[in-house]
Structure 1
Amino acid sequence: MSAVTAAAKASGARPRLSPDFFRLWWADGISAIGDGVTIAAAPLLATRLTDDPRLIGAASVAFTAPFVLFGIPAGLLVDRLDLRRTMMWVNLARAGLLAVLAAGILGGWAGLPLLYLCMFLLGTGDVFCRNAAQVLVPRITPKGDLAVANARIMAAQEAGAGFVGPLIGALLFGVAVALPFGLDAVTFLCSAMLLSRIRYRGPATAPTATAGVLSEMLAGARWLWRHSLLRSLALLSCLINLAGSAMLAVLVVHSTEVLHLSPFGYGVMLACQAVGAVLASRFAPVLTDRFGREGALVATAVLIATSELVLATAPSPYAAGVALALFSCGTVTWNVVVVVLRQTLVPTHLLGRANSVYRLIAWGGLPIGAATGGVLAAAAGTPAVFGAGAAAMGVIAVALLLGARRHWIRRIEPDARPATGHDVEDRAKDER
């Protein structure tokens, strides 16, 4: 451990987060509220247009498909472009897109095709902005504070998208169907204004004239696939996202047909995710320090499996709220661990591209899970979707436990010390 990191840890110094980080944090948090509004309102709008679970789930498929289609090109753009400026323009474009959807609803010409198109384009913007934000964080944050910084970013995203946003979205949907989408447009405008004030400028490296675009895109893929630890985590993340996406895609059907909730009740149920997210943001770095990264990942798999099992076996809105809190706690803790690993192990000039390939693998499970959840719910009911997810996560938890017993993360890292949130600065130096 470096002298600076050791002294900070011994003295209990607070994280040294920059003003630029807090601008990014606020921008993410505000747009996350808008995301939560749309997350609650879009499935409710789909239920107004159809009662087929497959067509309702298709809205989630449309939103997540760009993660597979555009993940690698987005990574190349992140490594080439001015992140601040591009994120700002993407958010302005998303604001205009949501304004069109709201106008379509008011005009009576918004049907499922327009909803699917808007969700697809919103997802396309999300592919770039999420990748860009994760690349931007280590450039405006001291390496020793990455775990805390990422936990705060994820907490803001989950609190906005999982608590404040769904409550507002469900409430506004009951007042006027177009209102939630108009509000989301406003949040993207506010986010763009905050991003414009970040002082960071420029891409990680200037684009070279000799390297082809395809070669540059594949460079990140080759690096990631040769790194056995990150490759394995990407594949596991794909399976986890598949199970979670299937669950979330049919949750609105479960809330109306099984739990008999109103639109506002559905929003309140979604908001329970924020409780788990806030808890995870506070305790994920502590959990990682105490039990190491292997132990933290095992705990996340157990939490997600438990949440799916509760949804499958307890037809109660209160039990569903607890289950969603457990699910969110598990996913945020998982993300804190694996994001810090990527930010510290991947070379800086490849971070955007390697990040995008990781997301392509991990998020490839999202549209597959959403489509599978809709088909399975139509054939066997929503509890069958949750039961299948619980079984899959149980298998993943056992696999992670076996890996933890063999110290599969510590063995592949440069040294044999336990992996903790406070050690990322030293790990990065060792890699260089």
Structure 2
Amino acid sequence: MSRLATPTAAAGRRQHLGRDFSRLWSAAAISAIGDGVTIAAGPLLAAQLTDDPRLIGGVSVAFTAPFVLFGIPAGLLIDRVDIRKALVRVDLARAVLLAVLTVGILGGWGGLPLLYVCMFLLGVAEVFCRNAAQVLVPYVAPESGLSTANARIMAAQEAGTGFVGPLFGALLFSVAVALPFGVDAATFLCSALLLARMRRTRPAQPGDASGVLPQMLAGAKWLWRHHLLRSLALLSCLINLAGSAMLAVLVVHSNVVLGLSAFGYGVMLSCQAVGAVLAARIAPLLTNRLGREGALVATAALIAASEAVLATVPSPYAAGAALALFACGTVTWNVVVVVLRQTLVPRHLLGRANSVYRLIAWGGLPVGAAAGGFVAAEAGTPAVFGAGAAVMAVIAVILVRGARRQWITRAVQAQRANEAAGDGPAPTGPGSTDTGPAEHPGKADR
């Protein structure tokens, strides 16, 4: 039987995905709330220590740099370990790390260097956990529910990091500077407990005798030969570059341009949850109605519109609406491309191919965060958002051209043909039916 998850009219209906998935979802939701607390409190702490936008943007650079540095090694590790046990250990390590930061702030030695180090190590853990969770989903959720399962997890993550967490984090920061980081440590302890109660997992896989480097390169070679996934990864790099630049300077924009307090900044960030929750409900239906190609075009247009609003309308209400549009677009994009990866990549290569994909896609995050800080320092925050809107407009045009050629549909049809022939998932080659936009090899997920 093909393991390709095809959108159906029933995709949006409520599905029961099992007790283990419920625990995985709960762990993701709780830790996401903690992440949101730190996402709001980290820049606020940096802004309290310095007024230089470049140093404030350095918080985002420190958190996202591991996505580039450790993506491929993390993928190899994921393909070799018991994922559930590994996730439990990483959550415990993150709890200890945040406890150290909390003590440092209380003790008076929690300055920018310690904040940068902690954000960097949290980024290392995030590289592993995000990849590992996506690899684990097909093992704890039924094949027919992959779109729904991924949408629910992403909605929980966006609602936690975009609504409950930032709102709570800004409020806690106004009470005591160290309090948000201590609360985040507690959420990781709760997440570890939930994951430890799961029964199903992806067990440790035996290695082979080819050595570490050839094993890491196997995932990279497979992904790079697959025109569709390669193109989506490259486009995602550009999307993340624009989005990361926007988020890196948002705290400066909220203070200087919008005149918001720390709590107001948290409320503004929380507007992302509206779009994220909406996307979780409509993403499967939108994909069914417009197809995968049409859904990706729509998400690029939403993100471009959100950046344009931030660049041109200096209103807190408009900024909140723009962030809701941004979250709706990114969650819908992620639902489409994550399901494609989970169904097109051979399972024994999923961790490595996922990590290479993320290495390419997330490579834009630290670059965008750094660029956003420098552009904001020289030309102001609206210039950062305007540049992001221009980048997203170009991406939307590229996706329209790909949609006209049905590049995703043809790749999926080729995949089904391979599976029907008994070859299993295989990359598309130069002579395959995958007619993705090869004339745009440097553009393509988040």
> 2-side partners of 1:354 and 1:201: how far apart?
19
TM-score normalized by the length of structure 2: 0.91
TM-score normalized by the length of structure 1: 0.94
Q: 1:216 to 1:107 in 2, by over 3 A?
A: same
> 2-side partners of 1:50 and 1:194: how far apart?
38
**Residue of structure 2 in register with 1:223 after alignment:** 222
**Residue of structure 2 in register with 1:375 after alignment:** 374
**Residue of structure 2 in register with 1:185 after alignment:** 185
Deviations 1:197-249 (A, max 9, x none): 111245363122x1200010000000000000000000000000000000000
> 1-side partners of 2:359 and 2:291: how far apart?
26
> 1-side partners of 2:290 and 2:11: how far apart?
22
User: Offset at 1:416?
Assistant: 10
The number of residue pairs the alignment matches comes to 421
Counterpart amino acid of residue 219 in structure 1: A
The secondary structure found in structure 2 opposite 1:414 is helix
> 2-side partners of 1:428 and 1:250: how far apart?
51
Counterpart amino acid of residue 333 in structure 1: T
**Residue of structure 2 in register with 1:51 after alignment:** 51
Deviations 1:83-130 (A, max 9, x none): 111110101010011011111111111111000000000000000000
> 1-side partners of 2:32 and 2:38: how far apart?
10
User: Offset at 1:373?
Assistant: 0.2
Counterpart amino acid of residue 113 in structure 1: P
**Residue of structure 2 in register with 1:32 after alignment:** 32
**Residue of structure 2 in register with 1:421 after alignment:** none
Runs of 4 or more above 3 Å deviation: 8-14, 201-204, 425-432
**Residue of structure 2 in register with 1:327 after alignment:** 326
The secondary structure found in structure 2 opposite 1:15 is coil
User: Offset at 1:144?
Assistant: 1.2
User: Offset at 1:415?
Assistant: 5.3
Alignment of 1:110 with 2:117, yes or no, is no
**Equivalent residues in 2 for 1:33-112 (5 A)?**
33-112=33-112
Alignment of 1:267 with 2:275, yes or no, is no
Counterpart amino acid of residue 256 in structure 1: N
**Residue of structure 1 in register with 2:385 after alignment:** 386
Counterpart amino acid of residue 134 in structure 2: Q
User: Offset at 1:338?
Assistant: 0.2
Alignment of 1:213 with 2:208, yes or no, is no
Task: Say which structure is richer in helix.
Answer: 1
> 2-side partners of 1:275 and 1:429: how far apart?
43
Native 8 Å contact 1:414 1:430 kept in 2: no
> 1-side partners of 2:260 and 2:384: how far apart?
19
**Residue of structure 2 in register with 1:400 after alignment:** 399
> 1-side partners of 2:15 and 2:140: how far apart?
13
> 2-side partners of 1:109 and 1:429: how far apart?
59
> 1-side partners of 2:111 and 2:196: how far apart?
35
Q: 1:307 to 1:135 in 2, by over 3 A?
A: same
Q: 1:142 to 1:428 in 2, by over 3 A?
A: farther
User: Offset at 1:411?
Assistant: 1.6
> 1-side partners of 2:295 and 2:105: how far apart?
45
Native 8 Å contact 1:162 1:272 kept in 2: yes
**Residue of structure 1 in register with 2:347 after alignment:** 348
Q: 1:398 to 1:427 in 2, by over 3 A?
A: farther
**Residue of structure 2 in register with 1:422 after alignment:** none
The secondary structure found in structure 1 opposite 2:79 is helix
Native 8 Å contact 1:18 1:141 kept in 2: yes
Native 8 Å contact 2:344 2:425 kept in 1: yes
**Residue of structure 2 in register with 1:153 after alignment:** 153
> 1-side partners of 2:59 and 2:237: how far apart?
20
Native 8 Å contact 1:80 1:207 kept in 2: yes
**Equivalent residues in 2 for 1:128-143 (5 A)?**
128-143=128-143
> 2-side partners of 1:291 and 1:193: how far apart?
40
Alignment of 1:276 with 2:275, yes or no, is yes
Counterpart amino acid of residue 159 in structure 1: A
**Any gaps of 5 or more consecutive residues in structure 1?**
418-424
> 1-side partners of 2:30 and 2:45: how far apart?
23
**Equivalent residues in 2 for 1:286-365 (5 A)?**
286-365=285-364
Deviations 1:346-378 (A, max 9, x none): 001000000000000000000000000000000
Q: 1:411 to 1:201 in 2, by over 3 A?
A: closer
Q: 1:347 to 1:48 in 2, by over 3 A?
A: same
Native 8 Å contact 2:150 2:335 kept in 1: yes
Native 8 Å contact 1:204 1:349 kept in 2: no
Counterpart amino acid of residue 328 in structure 1: A
User: Offset at 1:11?
Assistant: 12
- Percent identity between matched residues is 75
> 1-side partners of 2:202 and 2:342: how far apart?
18
The secondary structure found in structure 1 opposite 2:411 is coil
> 2-side partners of 1:99 and 1:325: how far apart?
32
Native 8 Å contact 1:78 1:203 kept in 2: no
Deviations 1:267-311 (A, max 9, x none): 000000000000000000000001100000000000000000000
> 2-side partners of 1:276 and 1:223: how far apart?
34
**Any gaps of 5 or more consecutive residues in structure 2?**
427-446
> 1-side partners of 2:283 and 2:400: how far apart?
18
The secondary structure found in structure 2 opposite 1:286 is helix
Native 8 Å contact 1:61 1:368 kept in 2: yes
Deviations 1:374-403 (A, max 9, x none): 000000000000000000100100110111
Q: CA RMSD in A?
A: 2.2
Alignment of 1:174 with 2:195, yes or no, is no
Q: 1:170 to 1:12 in 2, by over 3 A?
A: closer
> 2-side partners of 1:129 and 1:66: how far apart?
12
